[in-house]
Chain A
Amino acid sequence: MPNEMKPGQDGKKSVEALRSKFGAAILAEAWQTPDQVTLTVELSSLPEIVEEAYYRQGGWLSSVVGNDERGLNGHFAVYYVLSIEKERVPDKNFWLTVKALVPSHKPEFPSVTPRVPAAVWYEREVRDMFGLEPVGLPDARRLVLPDDWPDNLYPLRKDAMDYRFRPDPVAEEENYKFIEVEGEGIVEVPLGPLHITSDEPGHFRLYVDGEYIVDADYRLFYVHRGIEKLAENRLDYDQVTFLAERICGICGYTHSVAYASAVETANGIEVPPRAQYIRTILLEVERMHSHLLNLGLAAHLVGFDAGFMHFFRVREKAMQMAEILTGGRKTYGMNLIGGVRRDILKEERDQVLRLIAEIRVELDELLDLLLNTTNFISRTQGVGRLDPGVARDFSPVGPNMRGSGYARDTRADHPYGAYDRVPWDVISRDGCDVLSRELVRAAELYESLKIIERCLAEMPPGPVLVEGFAYKPYSFALGYTEAPRGENVHWVMTGNNQQVYRWRARASTYNNWPSLRYMFRGNTVSDAPLIVASIDPCYSCTERVTVVDVRKKKARTIEYKELERYCQERKNSPLKS
């Protein structure tokens, strides 16, 4: 390993524990940083070792990376990335990556999902993109690739195709197989893929019994563009920071920072402190606009439109802040490998501090208004429960997780940027419902204001950018940030031609979708949009809802607008006709 490091104390202990249990199945141990270790294990022991780390070492599944390493060592590889948070003390936490080589002549690996449910989406994705079969994975459907994509063409295999290759559509209609829910009178509700609220397309299917949701299924990835392949082929290291921003238009900067810090860590590049502060300030500016957006949306969905408008009015101040600091309202374009491109001078700082004071006053009044709107409390309390047990199995992240009593926040668990240099608090609530999640966001807004103020006041002198370093070929590391909707984890392996060999970007919402199904259950159809919005998905609602009545065995489609109206008014159920 080109970037060999000395291990941290606590990480070392955990690895010893795994070694004593699995002995010879652990083939190699390499430390990328004092808190990032990669263990290479026997393919057949992969599920057991991941399970042990997940449930008995305090692990959470943060990412799974497939990689075509045939050009390097003759094999494919899978990497299961776990955040080990055993004692909930930040400096004892570390990242454990379990790696296994998959033979190229027999591209299959034992599925981890039966032991660790959180792996389900990841393994479906590895199958789509690399053609590696997770043996024992119950779900045989595609996840990422569109329905009209040819079989046996795996985009991320190095020899599969040019990144620009666009095969002819093999299907002229969508043929995704939604789950079948057996039972008397279940109604199926398809939602989407075109949406009304703010966001991306996604297709939902709700299975209802009368007014109550029994189960749900969804087809997402309507926006799959091929970003990772693009980065491997057309762009250089610096250009990918701009591409990473375009993974998500709401929290793009968090992706850019996570990507840049992965590359920086892998190559041992030290980012100057001033650049770390500037990145932190912008990450919090982004969190503010995102949380204000989500609170506005929640107000809208419970029928409190005046509140929605006020939240959007105040949000414009956060947008203004971004424009002052970066020259753009979003997609800040600030990162290069090694630091940032733009400094913050006194004039800009003063303007931002003025805006912060304004936002704080406005926020006090707005939250007072929102929380004293009885409708808001009654519609959100006890709704869309994310059970802590379900949460443990699926590793959800962000305010979604922190509303269910877990104080998991990457900013504190694995500090980066300036988060360990300024004081702030991790916010959590334990109501497990929509209300708790919104309260977490509301409280986090104040923390953001605090962090920005402190960072602006304490920004150290010195450069904002380092240059003149050399990239080490085929070294890899993790980069991570806490996006407004939860932990983002990027894994980067450098190549030998000024381009990444493999870049795996895992967005926070990816970890939040699989447990959504459980959050729907037992709620009424009228709450569905509110529940979806409460995880603050990068792709929110949908245009139509297919409702399947389990008792009448009848499916019908409802316009999303109608569902949204029902969510707001709770009168004249569209199901009764």
Chain B
Amino acid sequence: MDQEVKLAELKAKLKKVIKRSVYIYRVDCGGCNGCEIEIFAAISPVYDPERLGMKVVASPRHADVLLYTGPMTRAMRLPAIRAYQAAPDPKIVVAYGACGCSGGIFHDCYSVWGGADSIFPVDVYIPGCPPTPAATLYGLAMALDLLQQKIKGEQFAETEVTRVVPQYDGVCPELAKEIEQEARRLSGYLHGRRIAAQYLQFVREGDPLAVDRKIKELIKQEKDPRLAEVFLSLHKIYMEKMERVGHNAG
């Protein structure tokens, strides 16, 4: 079914039937609790979904929206079906979290069936592991047609062969690799990469003497002693390498 038809159907369902606030019922089908607690956090005062007309209820018989979390374990299949049958039609089924959407990290385990849509049709998927309260509000608002869907499926194909240039063009790849590795070892992949990029920019711009001057200046100005420490370690690698090169050349 193409998206337009499906969205239109969803909309119609809502407009015709749900003229009031919606009641949401959560069904945990073997999740790790991460999703449950984030849903709980989403109904806390900080996010307060009741201002949008959403209320979590205690029985599927009152529910307009069923929120399925978890990878659908074997033991929860029957209770999940019972909850589905207990909710009056029409209802909106939301698959919540990576497990609810597809089984997540457990997708091929022996004791799970893998996602809510392995048992019944799903109207809206909310990815996340777990989805944050804001992502939860967005997903529910989208399910109720209060907000627009943002994500779109994408497809790329190479028509002609294109080249990918190494990231630190102009720097010896061996040095770049060493600097990157050391930065990651010291400061992790996220900060380390940023620090390495900043350092290698200096290398690209100048000769060893200029680099040395700039780094010493940078370290003097740096208010974060940890950053200074990491820069200094990277600098040591570079200077040692330059010295070796110098020796070899001399």
Contacts and interface: CB of A to CB of B under 8 A. Distances in A.
Taking the complex as a whole, does A directly touch B, i.e. does some CB pair lie under 8 Å apart?
A: yes
Interface stretch (A35-43, A54-62, A196-204, A357-365): A196-204
A560 interface: yes
Q: Which of B111, B191, B192 has the most CB of A within 10 A?
A: B111
Contacts of B184: 465
A248 B223 CA distance: 39
A21 interface: no
Interface in B113-135: 113, 129-130, 132
B198 to A, nearest CB: 13
Interface in A292-341: 293, 309, 312-313, 315-316, 319, 327, 329-331, 340-341
A250 B33 contact: yes
B75 interface: yes
Interface of A: 145-149, 155, 161-166, 169, 172-174, 193-196, 198-201, 221-227, 229-230, 234, 242-243, 246-250, 252, 293, 309, 312-313, 315-316, 319, 327, 329-331, 340-347, 461-467, 538-539, 543, 559-561, 564
Q: Which of A198, A201, A538, A564 has the most CB of B within 10 A?
A: A201
A148 B77 CA distance: 10
Given A200-B28, A226-B106, A146 B33 contact: no
B52 to A, nearest CB: 17
A463 B229 CA distance: 10
Nearest to B99: A246
Q: Is the interface of A mostly helix, strand, loop or mixed?
A: loop
B73 A173 contact: no
A234 B33 contact: no
Given A155-B110, A246-B34, A169 B224 contact: no
A193 B46 contact: no
Interface stretch (B35-43, B150-158, B199-207, B235-243): B35-43
B30 A223 contact: yes
A169 B75 CA distance: 10
Contacts of A226: 106, 109-112
A345 B30 contact: no
Contacts of B45: 309, 312-313
Nearest to B33: A249
Contacts of B37: 198, 249-250, 293, 330
B17 interface: no
Nearest to A161: B110
B185 A147 contact: no
B34 A224 contact: no
What is the interface residue range for chain B against chain A?
A: 35 or more
Contact of A343 (B30, B73, B191): B191
A164 B58 contact: no
A223 B110 contact: no
B87 to A, nearest CB: 12
Contact of B130 (A149, A193, A249, A462): A249
Pairs of residues from A and B, 8 with the lowest C-beta to C-beta distance, nearest first = A249-B34, A346-B224, A312-B44, A249-B33, A146-B75, A226-B109, A342-B188, A561-B58
B189 interface: yes
B7 interface: no
Given A164-B110, A313-B46, A147 B75 contact: yes
Q: Which of A149, A224, A227 has the most CB of B within 10 A?
A: A224
A179 B226 CA distance: 60
Q: Which of A195, A234, A249 has the most CB of B within 10 A?
A: A249
Nearest to B62: A561
B36 A198 contact: yes
A538 B31 CA distance: 11
Given A161-B110, A342-B188, A467-B185, A312 B41 contact: yes
B10 interface: no
B188 A561 contact: no
A173 B78 contact: yes
Interface of B: 27-28, 30-38, 40-41, 44-46, 58-59, 70-71, 73-79, 83, 104-106, 108-113, 129-130, 132, 184-192, 223-227, 229
Q: Is the interface of B mostly helix, strand, loop or mixed?
A: helix
A225 B28 CA distance: 13
Contacts of B76: 193, 201, 222-223
Given A222-B75, A226-B109, A229-B109, 4 more contacts: A340-B188, A345-B187, A461-B226, A561-B59
Contact of B34 (A145, A330, A344): A330
A227 B106 contact: yes
B32 A249 contact: yes
A538 B33 contact: yes
B49 to A, nearest CB: 13
Given A194-B83, A463-B186, A561-B58, A148 B74 contact: yes
Nearest to A464: B188
Nearest to A326: B190
Contacts of A564: 58
Contacts of B109: 163-164, 225-227, 229-230
A337 to B, nearest CB: 14
A267 B26 CA distance: 43
B74 A169 contact: yes
A247 B32 CA distance: 6
B224 A194 contact: no
B28 to A, nearest CB: 6
B34 A346 contact: no
A243 B105 contact: yes
A330 to B, nearest CB: 5
Contact of B36 (A162, A249, A329): A249
A198 B35 contact: no
Contact of B185 (A155, A163, A465): A465
A121 to B, nearest CB: 16
A183 B109 CA distance: 43
A46 to B, nearest CB: 29
Given A164-B108, A193-B79, A200 B33 contact: yes
15 contacts: A146-B111, A148-B77, A149-B74, A169-B77, A173-B78, A201-B28, A223-B70, A225-B71, A225-B106, A225-B111, A312-B45, A340-B188, A345-B191, A345-B227, A464-B187
A222 B30 contact: yes
Given A313-B45, A319-B41, A559-B58, A225 B112 contact: yes
B31 A163 contact: no
B41 A331 contact: no
Nearest to B182: A463
A560 B59 CA distance: 9
A117 to B, nearest CB: 26
Nearest to A251: B33
Q: Which of B27, B40, B104, B223 has the most CB of A within 10 A?
A: B40
A504 B33 CA distance: 20
B75 A464 contact: no
B226 A345 contact: yes
Nearest to B86: A194
Contact of B73 (A196, A198, A224, A243): A224
A186 to B, nearest CB: 26
Contacts of B30: 200-201, 222-225
A169 to B, nearest CB: 7
A21 B106 CA distance: 47
B173 to A, nearest CB: 19
